[in-house]
Copies of this chain bind each other. A is one copy, B any other.
Amino acid sequence: MRILLVGATGTLGQSVREVLRERSHEVVTASRKGSDVSVDITDPESIRAMYEQVGKVHAVASAAGSVPWLPFGELRYQDVLDGVAGKVVSQVELVRQGAAYVAGSFTLITGVLAREPLRTGAVASLANGAIEAFVRAAAIELPQRVNAVSPTIFTESVDVYGDLFVGFEPVPVRQAANAYVRSIEGHQTGQVYMVG
């Protein structure tokens, strides 16, 4: 398949790219910089330009989305807007605009904070909960399949985030990448694949 991978340069994106290429897919990478296509997913015009440049694909896989991590008492109005723009509206826009370009499936990224809150993660929880409910809803209207991958902390990220995810059992990032394969090559829609 020809697959557009958005957010290709992060820990997860690199692993998804590797696993998809091992399975002989053609992977077109997109990210702010360092990929085949440059895109800012918080800008709908940038997403439009990306799809025009890339053209038809079988699948879109998103491993992109950033949210602010702050103690609740330090959250400003703008932080909430930034998190919504960075992980929610951005990924919705990948699906909304992508409907004209994608034959098979969309796979979005959420995360364990949708169900397991952590201090400083209120905006992450909000964003993940939004995306998980969105894929269930989009799946019953779109001809394409739409799923989400919702991983816990990666083994590869314990050095950076381990103190926050204290007591959580880490999973190798490759398990999350395999969930993308399941979404892209599998048969289901409206699913949230929990990893870990």
Q: Is the CB of B96 within 8 A of A121?
A: no
Of A12-20, A67-75, A172-180, the one contacting chain B is A67-75
What 0/1 pattern do residues 113 to 153 of A give for CB contact below 8 A with B? Answer: 11101111110111111111110111111100000000000
Alpha-carbon distance A157/B96, docked complex (angstroms)? 30
* Given A77-B96, A88-B84, A99-B73: A126 and B137 interface contact (C-beta under 8 Å): yes
Alpha-carbon distance A66/B135, docked complex (angstroms)? 20
Q: Is the interface of A mostly helix, strand, loop or mixed?
A: helix
Q: Is the CB of A133 within 8 A of B125?
A: yes
Whether, in the assembled complex, A65 has its beta carbon less than 8 Å from a beta carbon of chain B, the answer is no
Alpha-carbon distance A130/B115, docked complex (angstroms)? 11
* Given A89-B84, A93-B80: A117 and B139 interface contact (C-beta under 8 Å): yes
List the 8 shortest-distance A-B pairs measured between CB atoms, nearest first.
Answer: A129-B133, A125-B137, A130-B130, A117-B137, A72-B141, A122-B137, A126-B134, A125-B133
Q: CB within 8 Å of B: which residues of A? A: 44, 71-73, 75, 77, 80-81, 84, 88-89, 92-93, 96, 99, 113-115, 117-122, 124-134, 136-142, 190
